[in-house]
Amino acid sequence: MAGRIYSVRKLGGIIFLILQDRCGLIQVVFDKKTDNLIVGSWVEIEGEVKEEKRAPGGIELRGEKLAIISQPAEDLPIDLSKKELNVNLNTLLNYRPLTLRHEKVRAIFKIFGTALEAYGQIMRQLGFTEIKSPKILGAASEGGANFFTINYFGKKAFLAQSPQFYKQICVGAFERVFEIGPVFRAEKHFTTRHLNEYTSLDAEMGFIENHEDLMEKLTEVTRFIFEKIEEKNQEELKLYNAGVPVVSKNIPRYRLAEIKKIIKEKYGYEVPSETDIDPKGEALAGRFAKEELNSDFIFLTHYPTAMRPFYTMPDEENPEETKGFDLIFKGLELATGSQRIHDYKQLIKSIKKFGLDPKGFSFYLQAFKYGMPPHGGWGMGAERLVQQLLNLSSVKEAALFPRDVKRLEP
């Protein structure tokens, strides 16, 4: 058995050692004198595995031989053997190479890994092809100031804010595609919900009737992810006293206008008119869903057309509203999606209406010029999913090496 010494306790002549390997913690008992048991050392231990109800995991190793493979060059500045790290966010991140070794921190990323696995698995089951779209773009076509610029051999290029155009183009070839990849947002936010680089779980599918098909699919996908986490990460969930949420087949769906009225009547809060809905509004929508509908999730639909991107399909019955939605999980936007405009001429009209120039979109428009089926998709934030599941106070805790306005390291 090989791993790192997590903690050492001596009781009489007996040494109790907790060993951390890639699976978890195991108790090792030595009744011989054993020197040099420095916490943080990497060791190989030979011995016999025995049942022991009082040990973590129900088993312990009766140690016979111990070989030290590698040792810390300095004392550890943070005690990793405590159940709770109790360090502030800055310390947690400045000492990331070390704090990642804490069992409770590690748990976050084991769950994160399961979420990635589950997303790929369910998407493939549903007939989606995995794609990898480029992150370096020649043009920031979508507009807006939220692009990071790159020096690309002397030319100005941009970091992709999302795989949006590419996944739509790919619907024309593969009908159903998904992508797991980084997205980059040059937003000056410094909040507990935002990262300037995060992992987006994207999807785009053809032959939908409308956005309701998408919400149905997204519900299925979300349920699968949480089921997988429940199946694989019992130990990790326990460390956070967290249970996976119930994802019912019928997550409540409310129109944005409707939920704003409810929020105002129930909680006396008026969503500022210059936003579609603000974070406080989302939080209250989540509270309403939990208190009145007993659901951790709520879909908000029919966002205003003027506040969604130009490619969003307007509702035929009221073109001021879109066939778009957000999925709110415990009061936080987890995913956003919509049906897209698939008609070439309607798309050009929409681009112009948004004050943009169709010439900047020639490659994107090529797909539509030669025919596209009705389609739509979503983007879901992987870090937010884990944040909300474990009730972490900041999304930065759910990113291995988070990037924000002030943080580019480690």
Q: Which of residues 344-403 bind a second copy (CB under 8 A)?
A: 344-345, 363-364, 366-374, 382, 400-403
182 is a site residue for a second copy (CB under 8 A): yes
Nearer to a second copy, 207 or 318 (CB): 207
From candidates 62, 104, 110, 253, binder to a second copy by CB under 8 A: 110
Q: Which helix (H) or strand (E) holds 109?
A: helix 103-125
Binding mask 19-48 for a second copy (x = CB under 8 A): --xxx----------------xxx-x----
Residue 72 touching a second copy (CB under 8 A): yes
Among 49, 71, 291, 294, binds a second copy (CB under 8 A): 71
Q: Which residues touch 26 (CB under 8 Å, ≥6 apart)? A: 1, 3, 18, 19, 55, 56, 57, 59, 60, 61
Q: Binding to a second copy (CB under 8 A): which residues in 132-151?
A: 132-139, 148-151
Q: Which stretch binds a second copy (CB under 8 A): 99-107, 234-242, 279-287, 319-327?
A: 99-107
d(CA 219, CA 254) in angstroms, rounded, equals: 15
Please say which residue, 41 or 210, places its beta carbon nearer to a second copy.
Answer: 41
Report which secondary-structure segment, H or E, holds 332: strand 332-339
Among 31, 64, 79, 130, binds a second copy (CB under 8 A): 130
Distance between CA 97 and CA 91 in Å, rounded? 11
Of 45-53, 83-91, 177-185, 350-358, the segment contacting a second copy by CB under 8 A is 177-185
Tell which residue, 211, 176, 177, has the closest CA to residue 340: 211
Cα–Cα nearest to 245, from 189, 327, 128:
327
User: Does 59 engage in binding with a second copy (CB under 8 A)?
Assistant: no
| Minimum CB distance to a second copy smaller for 130 or for 291 | 130
Q: Which of 28, 61, 169, 237 binds a second copy (CB under 8 A)?
A: 169
Report, in Å, the least distance between residue 68 CB and a second copy: 10
Q: Are 402 and 384 in contact (CB under 8 A)?
A: no
Compute the least distance from the CB of residue 205 to a second copy, in Å.
9
Direct distance between the N- and C-terminal alpha carbons of the chain, in angstroms, rounded to an integer: 31
Which of 170, 164, 207 has the alpha carbon at shortest distance from 337? 164
Contact 6, 81 (CB under 8 A): yes
**At what angle are helices 344-353 and 362-369 packed, to 10 degrees?**
150
343 near a second copy, rule: CB under 8 A: yes
What sections of 268-381 are H helices per DSSP? 279-293, 344-353, 362-369
Spatial CA neighbour of 218 closest among 335, 341, 374, 389: 335
Q: Amino acid letter at 256? A: L
CB closer to a second copy, 68 vs 283? 68
Judged by CB under 8 A, the residue of 9, 46, 49, 70 near a second copy is 70
Q: Which is nearer to a second copy, 169 or 298 (CB)?
A: 169
Strand 176-184 to 332-339 pairing:
unpaired
Structural contact between residues 385 and 329, judged by C-beta atoms closer than 8 angstroms? yes
Site size toward a second copy, by CB under 8 A? 97
Looking at beta carbons only, is 260 or 342 nearer to a second copy?
A: 342
What's the rounded Cα separation, in Å, for the pair 196 and 190?
Answer: 9
- The yes or no reply on residue 191 touching a second copy (CB under 8 A) is no
Of the listed pieces 68-76, 216-224, 241-249, 387-395, which binds a second copy according to CB under 8 A? Answer: 68-76
Question: Min. distance of Cβ 300 from a second copy in angstroms?
Answer: 28
User: Which residues from 320-339 bind a second copy, rule CB under 8 A?
Assistant: none
Candidates 100, 262, 307, 356; binder of a second copy (CB under 8 A) is 100
Q: Where does this chain touch a second copy (CB under 8 A) — which range of 117-125, 245-253, 313-321, 350-358?
A: 117-125
| Identity of the residue, 49 or 173, whose beta carbon is nearer to a second copy in the bound complex | 173
For residues 233 and 108, is the Cβ–Cβ distance under 8 A? no
How many CA atoms lie less than 13 Å away from 186 in the CB half-sphere?
12
Of residues 263 through 322, those in contact with a second copy by CB under 8 A are: none
Residue 91 near residue 73 (C-beta atoms within 8 A): no
Asked if 3 is part of the footprint of a second copy (rule: CB under 8 A), the reply reads yes
